Amino acid sequence: MPGALLRQRFSATTVEEAVAAVRAVFGDGAVAVQPGRFGFDAVSAVDDGVTVTRIVSSGTDVRLETGPSPELVVFAVREGALILRRGGEEARLEAGGLGLVPIGTVAELRWDRVAVDAVSIEVSSLNRLLGAVGRPLRLNEARIQPLSESLRELWDRLARVLAGTVLEAPDLYQRDLVRGQMIDVLAATTIEAFGLVDPAEAAADRDDEALQAAEAHMQSHLGDPMTVGEIAVAAGVSLRGLQLLYQRRRASTPLLQLRRMRLEAARQVLESSRAEPIGSIARRLGYTNVGRFSAHYREAFGEAPSETRSSRVVPVRRG
């Protein structure tokens, strides 16, 4: 039916058939295997933003070499184990393990028996997050494996939800908002998990200018709903560039800085006036939930908003 997910299936019992299957999935590649029984099956779910291919294969010292990939590819081992070689790096990935092949990179995978998901993420998703819209995307030397266990686990859970739930249910797949956001979240987690950075975004030569622009925008819109994307646009950097900027200069995040600015503005009002109700102050500075405002305020200043007001405002004497 129109709008249904495109699915492709390839099976092979010979090297020649396997090469055709690999090229159908990756665009280029080669396969080698020692004499003996050999099997290769690949099932792909092809979307505009991501392609997920489950490869199930067995043999003796099976070797798959990919060509330079036009997309970023993460290999997630589901059963068995494989060796991933990329440039001068090598990693052994067992069940649950993840390995990254960056854009334009040739990789070699070796196994005897494996079930592995190859998740290919389109450049457009990375461009939006890394600020490379309108110019070629350049990435640093990315890690071959995730930076931490928590990031590996998060990536794995998101990939399973996307591949096993969103792409499998026609009702969910045809909801562009759900599908698009899931792909973007997976792309963002890939960037974080493997430390992907556009060198232009990592440079610190514009830090002062970008930081001033970001915080001027926050200060002038303290009471307005605000996203990290809006702050990044105001600063003239990407989402990732803004995050790196705040890591370098504030040892914090943009949204935590925005919260701090809102709380400091509230404190100034509480110290100077009894006239405005605390709930009104909270709402005026972007908090719709007064309880959340009070909790954040106590965490920041070690006292409740009412305590600040009673200790700092001098009563007006009459007579």
Whether the Cβ atoms of residue 211 and residue 171 lie closer than 8 Å to each other: no
Same domain for 189 and 290, yes or no, is: no
Whether the Cβ atoms of residue 48 and residue 6 lie closer than 8 Å to each other: no
| pLDDT at site 2 | 41
Same domain for 208 and 278, yes or no, is: yes
User: How much of the chain exceeds pLDDT 90, in percent?
Assistant: 66
Same domain for 15 and 150, yes or no, is: yes
Q: How many domains are there within the chain?
A: 2
Same domain for 186 and 278, yes or no, is: no
Write out the residue range of the structural domain in which residue 288 sits.
203-319
- pLDDT of 270 strictly over 60: yes
Strand partners, 91: 84
The last residue of one of the domains, among 193, 215, 230, is 193
Q: Within a domain: residue 198?
A: no
| pLDDT at site 297 | 96
Is 61 in a helix, a strand, or coil? strand
For residues 112 and 61, what is the distance between their CA atoms, to the nearest angstrom? 5
Same domain for 140 and 162, yes or no, is: yes
| pLDDT at site 319 | 46
| pLDDT at site 140 | 67
* CB environment 231-260: b (16+ within 10 A), e (fewer): bbbbbebbbbbbbbbbeeeeeeebeebbbe
Express each pLDDT in 35-69 by its tens digit.
Answer: 999 999 999 999 988 999 999 999 999 999 998 98
Same domain for 24 and 150, yes or no, is: yes
Same domain for 237 and 137, yes or no, is: no
| pLDDT at site 104 | 87
Same domain for 119 and 176, yes or no, is: yes
| pLDDT at site 120 | 94
Query: Which of 50-54, 77-81, 86-90, 312-316 has the weakest average pLDDT?
Result: 312-316
| pLDDT at site 124 | 80
For residues 49 and 290, what is the distance between their CA atoms, to the nearest angstrom? 40
- pLDDT of 133 strictly over 60: no
Residue 128 — very low, low, confident or very high, per pLDDT cuts 50/70/90? Answer: confident
Residue 142 — very low, low, confident or very high, per pLDDT cuts 50/70/90? Answer: confident
Q: Within a domain: residue 84?
A: yes
* Residue 296 identity (one-letter amino acid): H
For residues 251 and 33, what is the distance between their CA atoms, to the nearest angstrom? 50
Same domain for 183 and 220, yes or no, is: no
Q: Within a domain: residue 56?
A: yes
Same domain for 134 and 21, yes or no, is: yes
Express each pLDDT in 204-243 by its tens digit.
Answer: 678 899 999 999 999 999 999 999 889 988 998 888 888 8
The model's pTM is 0.81
Q: Within a domain: residue 1?
A: no
| pLDDT at site 107 | 94
- pLDDT of 306 strictly over 80: yes
* Residue 292 identity (one-letter amino acid): R
